[in-house]
Structure 1
Amino acid sequence: MNFTLPPVEELIANAHVVRLPMRVKFRGVTEREALLIHGPAGWGEFSAFLEYGPAEASRWLAAGIEAAYTDFPTPLRTSIPVNATLPAVRANQIAGVLANYDAPHTIKIKVAEKGQHLDDDIARVAETRRLFPDAALRVDANTGWGIDEAVSALLKLSEFDLQYAEQPVPGIVGLARVRERLRSHGVELKIAADEAVRKHSDPLEVARLGAADLMVIKAQPLGGIQAVLDIAAQSGLDVVVSSALDTSVGLAQAAALASAVPQLPYACGLATGSLFAEDVTATPLLATAGQLPVRRVAPDEDKLRTLSVTTERRTWWEQRVRECYEQLMAPESHN
């Protein structure tokens, strides 16, 4: 961290916990909880997924504190090209979901959903290609396949002219094997690392092992903007900046990260605000003509009130902040 931690009680005193309903189920949830922190530089977000333990979630807290207590870097661009995100819906639902995006020039399609089959994935990708023949398509398996399963699936899905496949299998070694086996079949489909970067103790190992062609980087899971910029610079790989299913407060930090990356060859996964039925502001951070503006977001007081969680959930989040804060105060977190 490149900033001094404020007292934990100060963080909690200036925090609001909200629950946002979603338009469709995404990552297995229909509601998203987040703790928003008000600080001297503006607002930050701490919304580590509920199943994450303190060690992993502490990086998300560091990012939220960074946003609330430090200025965003000087932007190199004022808007960010973004992809549409298509959850693992049925083929007949695709047009309706993507109607929420005004200019889907790039579409990330979720595959390998639990309870579904490869035929469902093929139908989803095929229908998306039919509806958007000129769009750049990418698939994201979120580690849902084994190595053999991933190779078989990607050999079939690559027929739809995919831009890249994101995290088809768990781990860095698994990614390297999938990439190698696809090449042996003469398929040059690019592989993107996501979970292998943000869930690994050494995210740069992805580059060292040649496991991926590009990295998906996220502000919250990797500890904030400066931490991510350092990782991106050291990796030498192309990067795609993505959200972590943030509210508009967290999306503002992610957009600030994308604005500061020297090279941005791919559309970013920052249009997820359209997946929410409600947001913390009346002017949510949404894309226009396939571009997301780079700006700070402050939540509205009435939204904080109407979207607030129960006392029990507030207490749960306060305890989580304390546990994650202890992780950040540990000597090894400053190395």
Structure 2
Amino acid sequence: MAGSRTSAKPNLLIVAQAGRLEYEAIILLASLRHAAPDWSGRVIVAEPLPEGTWQGRSTQISDPVRGLLTDFGAEILPFTARHFGASYPQGNKIEALALLPANEPFLFLDTDTLVTGPLDKLRFNFKKPSASMARTNTWPQPPLYGPGYEQIWRSIYDRFGVPFDDSIDPAQPKEHWERFLYFNAGWFFGADPAEFGRRYLEWALALRDDPHDELACQAMDPWLDQAVLPVVIHSLGGGRPGKALSGMDGDTTCHYRKLPLLYAQHAERAIGICEEAVAPKHIKRVLKEWEPARKLIYQQKGRTKVRPIFAEDRVQRPERAIRNQIKSRGWWLV
């Protein structure tokens, strides 16, 4: 690899298991091959085994899905979740990093992501890790009488010996949530998954098992992974993604979160790419077994039932209101 930048060679990591995630993985990888046909990096699907903290749960990917993911060129690698599992499924992404080769750049994507453009053409600077800025002020929620945003965030950086002041965005006013480094963990990348994963796991367990005083009023579930991620990234010399990565959560990827929300919130271009990517018969044969895809994509209910609800107001409503509107009409299929 020449220098610290590359456009095509990181190991792409996703996590999938029985149920919704395995079918979302089909959509993700179908869209990758459709919209970024020149992607040449490894594609690794991490599959939690029904043991450890997933003991007693059905986690293994079904044979038809397994065959299709393999046809897409993915390597399905099992792992045992020992720390999070069923009690905190978001922890899968933290533990799965151990599957990746050390000292090789990586890109993690949540399964509920569409690739909508040439992912291989984006210029990731792996020596400066970063993550998705498609987030809202979900965490922390400072109590009325303090501590405030700065005191809460500074306490985490101080606990793990990470410099804090240079993580601040001085263009934002004091005590405004965007002044502080905060990411959506739907995608993130780095140069060395071994060190990235070690810090991510160690610090997440520390905050979960022994929250310090400034976190006493903070809900860590389901926000633990997002509370720790900025500190890990900044400790490794990273920060906010620059303009070179504007395609992430833009023209190159779409983090739709739940399939009904793709039709409710996102552009026609993203919907069209999704539908084209999963149209081939060998994909449809497997994906139609998942009710949301069968009804919303193949029976076109996403277009005829969900999308018209928001024809006049596609983006402005809070997500909770959008979900409630879809649920009230019986189309919240997830």
TM-score relative to the length of structure 2 = 0.29
Q: Looking at secondary structure, tell me which structure has more helix per residue.
A: 2
Which structure has more strand as a fraction of its residues?
A: 1
